[in-house]
Structure 1
Amino acid sequence: MRPVGEMDLFLTPAGRIMYPGDNLTDVQALREQIPALDGCVYLNCGTFGPVPSQSTDEVVRLLRLIESDGPFNPDVNETVHKVYETARESMSRFVGASSDEIALTRNVSDGINIVATGFDWEPGDEVIITDQEHPSGALPWINLSRRYGIKVRMLPLTHNQDETVASLEDLINPKTKLVFLSHVSTRTGYRLPAKRLCDVSHANGVPIMLDGAHAVGQMAVDVKDLGCDFYAGCGHKWILAPQGSGFLYIDREWIDKLKLTWLGWGMTEEYDLPSLSFESVSEARRFEYATMNWAHFGGLVKSIGVAEELGIENTEARISELATNLKQRLSDIPGIEIESPMEPEISTGLVALSTAGLNHEAPGKWLWDEHRILVAHNAENQWMRLAVAHFLLEEELDRFVECMTELSEDR
């Protein structure tokens, strides 16, 4: 498999991607499977990705089967169990793990909390996070600081991977119990040098967890190659899967060492109430408990299938091409300041920009109300984030640039 950077990318006006010697991948065919794209320019995969019809149809089929025939009907139960385990196998394959190292969760937040509460924390212990974490990537550690007196240390992110590595080397110390970093910054789309950071952490005898919310689905992820101990991801962003479908990778070495916090039926191998004893399974699924929304994992299987059919290298290359071109064009518009890195090798499809210079109090709302362009925008902070996904067409990005140019001219 060749690195993305060695591929020669050709984009046709029809929105097709072709690599020399490879089959033609028709983006238009993908778009026809995603109803949400009919009515808008969808630039917000970073919050929720639009779901292909085949994934939605599978969720509806399974939900109807479960609720109409009864979830404990033996035939239904067998079907649902197979779908659920297929989701585990599909996700493990997608991120380069073994299926026994994957716990199925609702989202990244589940995974972070499972790991955060799985350590025996003591006053003075330290955890390192970045200064650009999503609230769900910061609050669990802040909570631990209140409950147990641990210290949360913040690694400042710049758009320089060498500086990022050096910052971790400076922060890590004998009191560091865990390093928690985003694989891709939710704020700017900066691609952290995850493998190098894992090496630094392990060289100091410290386990490391990565938040893969904005990595899985838009770029190749191999948890074994990265060398992380824990990796949390979700289906509802770049994989284009239903909400409520996520995963937590736990390296096999940590499965029995990580403490259990939430327990319930389904995670035990042996259980005896009179003797108040139990033995949990020695797989990552020991961190799954109680009833899940089984049908949504059927949708996850379908969405992963679509992603694999497209080829993650194709997806990553197209996103890089579209995002790089868009940033270059936006940087020429007066009043817009790009906050994301410009270099493709440290960038992703997340493009952040300041709208402070546009003299418009709610450009995100205006884009939706007037042009049906969906973005993430914080009017108070005058910050906008675009998620440049592989299903977008060049003419859609042209429309966005024209709209931002119009706002700039109204200053």
Structure 2
Amino acid sequence: MAHVDNLRRHFPVLRRVVYLNTGRAGALPDETVQAISEALAAQLHEGRRGDSYWQTLTQMRELVRDELAHLFHVPETAFVLTNSTTEGIHLALWGIPLEPGDEILTTNVEHPEVGLPVATQRQRRGVRIRVLDGALPKDELCRQLEQRLTPRTRVLVCSHVSYATGHRLPLEALVEVAHRYGLWVVVDGSQGAGAEPLDLGSLGVDLYAFPGHRWLCGPQGTGALYVRADRLEELEATLLGPAAVREPAAWTPDGHYLPAASARRFEHTEGEVSAWLGWWHSLRFLRVTAGWEYVFSRTHGLSGMLMDKLLDLPGVTLATPRDQRAGLVHFALEGVGPDVILREARLRDIDIQTIPERGLVRVSTAFYNTEDDILRLVQALSDLRRG
């Protein structure tokens, strides 16, 4: 049995749905759902009492950090556990010391989970926002970045992979330019984390926020923020809670406290044990059962196959550059609107996404997809084209 066939047995949804929408929410492995169910059943029958529940909560959060450290090749102490990318971006931006009149550079291909936290900096702190054309080729984008810099520019905020176009931004080059001028670099990793290999330490990005529920196949309400070690002391804590202090008694009523020595100092809540247990099971499944190398190569290979098949169809325009792709492929079909394509796909139990404001269809190719999934989508498009 092929590896993909063995893996697909762990995702019951794949038995009836062509699941090409991991960029919105990844499919859940069976062991993840079972672990969550058992944890909730234990709470139902045993309650959340004694030391066991709280010890398990702490243990699960540390196990999640260990898995993230393995995936991103940085120490586990570098991760702040969050409930979403949006929370991570907010923690990053509110933690950076900014003054009225300081400037944030961002791009025009960002998700609202980035755009809205940036907007709050303008509204609440008087920060100016300058926008780059994120769809430009690498050299042109880096040139535009340098041209837009002023003495008040402090931060670059951008995506790893754009939700709107599917292209991977040239992070390595952008980080190099931004750091040359002393900027902080904050990255939305929603469509990159788990879709392609990433060494956060080598990349040099300052802050990288990502969710657990997309390419990392975890439950909703999980996520993390990576903080580069040499930025730890510069970043200011925004929301404080018991999770942020060095030990339970490391604070006083008159406003003094000792922060945790790690990035945990930016955590304000511990969350729910079943969610962290579930995400840990998903991360372990991806590492042990699937294998990260397989996950990345399969995702990349299927996105390339999809592009080839789409280009064989008359009237298709690809919005995602082949040499800047990860797991998302965006396209338009001449004479057929994205809403029509979405409706036809749903009639055939094919789960995809649209980007209405750009007139595009978005397809996510994950490691558990098959060549047949791609062909079924292409056949649906072909039928619509003839139709």
1:80 is paired with a residue whose SS is: helix
| Mapped contact 2:332–2:361 kept (Cα < 8 A) | yes
Q: Note if contact 2:299-2:365 (Cα within 8 Å) is conserved in structure 1.
A: yes
CA deviation after TM superposition for structure 1 residue 323, in Å = 1.2
Kindly provide the CA deviation profile for residues 113-149 of structure 1, in whole angstroms up to 9, marking residues without a partner as x.
0011112322211111111000111111112112222
Give the CA deviation at 1:60.
1.6
Give 1:364 deviation, angstroms.
Answer: 0.4
User: Counterpart of 2:292 in structure 1: which amino acid?
Assistant: I
Displacement of 1:286: 1.4
Query: Structure 1's 251 and 367: CA in aligned 2 closer, same or farther, altered over 3 A?
Result: same
The aligned runs of 1:153-232 (5 Å cut-off) are 153-158=130-135, 160-232=137-209
Q: Verify the 8 A CA contact 2:134 2:141 in the aligned structure 1.
A: yes
CA distance in 2, matches of 1:102, 1:398: 39
Secondary structure at 1:28's aligned position in 2? Answer: helix
The 3 A distance-change label for structure 1 pair 395 and 208 is same
Measured in 2, the distance between the counterparts of 1:106 and 1:326 equals: 32
One-letter identity of the residue aligned with 1:403: A
The equivalent of 1:9 in structure 2 is none
For the pair 1:287 / 2:287, whether they are aligned, the reply is: no
Q: Which runs of 5+ in 2 are unaligned?
A: none
Which residue does 1:393 correspond to in 2? 370
Moved more, 354-363 or 131-140: 354-363
Task: State whether residues 208 and 227 of structure 2, in contact with CA within 8 Å, keep that contact through their aligned partners in structure 1.
Answer: yes
The residue type equivalent to 1:305 in the other structure is R
Of 378-387 and 120-129, more deviation after overlay is shown by 378-387
Task: Indicate whether 1:243 and 2:208 are aligned.
Answer: no
**For structure 1, which runs of at least 5 residues remain unmatched after alignment?**
1-13, 17-25
Match of 2:315 among 335, 353, 360: 335
Which letter does structure 2 place at the counterpart of 1:272? T
Contact between 1:107 and 1:234, CA under 8 Å: does it hold in 2? Answer: yes
Distance 1:205 1:280, change over 3 A: same
What one-letter code is carried by the residue in structure 2 that aligns with 1:308? R
1:276 equivalent to 2:255? Answer yes
> Partner residue of 2:304?
324
Shift of 1:380: 6.7
Q: 2:40 aligns with which of 48, 63, 67?
A: 63
CA gap of 1:360–1:157, structure 2 versus 1, over 3 A, is closer
Q: Secondary structure at the match of 2:243?
A: coil
Contact 2:83 2:224 (C-alpha < 8 Å) held by counterparts: yes
> Normalised by the size of structure 1, how large is the TM-score?
0.88
CA-to-aligned-CA distance 1:69-121 (integer Å, 9 cap, x gap): 23232122222221221111111221122111111111111100001111232
User: Contact 1:318/1:390 (CA < 8 Å) preserved in 2?
Assistant: yes
Instruction: Answer yes or no: is the 8 Å Cα contact 2:132–2:144 preserved in 1.
Output: yes
Structure 2 match to 1:303 = 282
Aligned mates of 2:326, 2:343 — CA distance in 1:
25
Structure 2 letter corresponding to 1:303: S
Q: 1:198 to 1:392 in 2, by over 3 A?
A: same
Which is worse superposed, 321-330 or 65-74?
A: 65-74
Give the distance between the partners of 1:365 and 1:129, measured in 2 at CA: 33
Name whichever of 394-403 and 119-128 sits farther off: 119-128
Distance of 2:111 and 2:76 partners within structure 1: 28
Percent of aligned pairs with the same amino acid:
28
| Alignment partners' CA distance in 2, 1:152 and 1:272 | 38
What is the alpha-carbon distance in structure 1 between the residues aligned to residue 38 and residue 68 of structure 2? 21
SS at match of 2:115: helix
| 1:97 pairs with 2:74 | yes
Q: Does 1:365 align with 2:343?
A: yes
The offset of 1:355, in angstroms, is: 4.1
Whose helix fraction is larger, Structure 1's or Structure 2's? Answer: 2
Secondary structure of the 2:251 match is: strand
Q: Deviation of residue 237 (structure 1)? A: 0.6
Q: Secondary structure at the match of 1:351?
A: strand
**Contact 2:338–2:359 (CA under 8 A) maintained in structure 1:** no
Residue 357 of structure 1 and its aligned partner are, at CA, apart by: 2.0
For the structure 1 residues 362 and 72, does the alpha-carbon distance in structure 2 shift closer, same or farther, using more than 3 Å as the test?
A: same
Cα distance in 1 between the residues matched to 2:49 and 2:66: 23
What's the TM-score once normalised by structure 2's chain length? 0.94
Contact 2:160–2:169 (Cα < 8 Å) also in 1: yes
1:378, CA displacement in angstroms?
4.5
What SS does the corresponding residue of 1:137 show, helix, strand or coil? helix
Counterpart code for 1:365:
R
